[in-house]
Amino acid sequence: MAPSLLQRCLRILGLALVLVVPAGLTGGCVYRLDVQQGNLLEQKDIEAILPGMTRNQVRYLLGTPIAATPFRADRWDYMYYLRPGKSRKTTQRWIIVWFDGDAVRQVERDVPVGRAGGSSVEQQG
């Protein structure tokens, strides 16, 4: 006796469910790592940087600068980037510390990421 049309449709539907449901469940369970780069810049540490502080004091509070170059000995850049794995919201901070010799001259807080630190900053000091 041949299976009826209803039985064939139920078999096809059952097979489709068996194949699709596990794929849908495993696709939603992908673990995404948090991406964190740079120095963790806490607001209290940033606010503690004052003009006249030494390089060692700044390094103690903020850590080693992410970008210090021998071509610009008067500038240290601190950058921080965090993208939580389950969120699309990113946190980005960029702090520039300017020096006169060994002493802090100026601190630029929350510099817009993507802005080139150039001559406009030098004219402010």
Instruction: Tell me the pLDDT tens digit for each residue of 63-74.
Output: 999 877 778 888
Q: Is the pLDDT of residue 122 over 50?
A: no
- Is residue 66 in a domain? yes
Q: Say if residue 13 is in the same domain as residue 66.
A: no
Domain holding 22, by residue range, is 1-28
- Is residue 118 in a domain? no
| CB 62, CB 47: distance < 8 Å | no
Confidence of residue 105 (pLDDT cuts 50, 70, 90): very high
Q: Say if residue 109 is in the same domain as residue 58.
A: yes
Output the DSSP codes for 35-58: EEEE----HHHHHH--TT-BHHHH
In one letter, which amino acid is 67?
A
Alpha helices in the chain (DSSP H): 5-27, 43-48, 55-62, 119-124
Instruction: Tell me the pLDDT tens digit for each residue of 16-42.
Output: 777 777 666 666 667 788 888 888 888
Has this prediction a pTM greater than 0.85?
A: no
- Is residue 120 in a domain? no
Query: What pLDDT is attached to residue 23?
Result: 65
Residue 14 CB-density burial (10 A; 0-12 exposed, 13-18 middle, 19+ buried) = exposed
- Is residue 16 in a domain? yes
Average pLDDT, rounded, for the chain: 80
Angle at 50 between CA 95 and CA 46, to 5 degrees: 40
Backbone angles phi, psi at 57, to 5 degrees: -65, -40
- Is residue 14 in a domain? yes
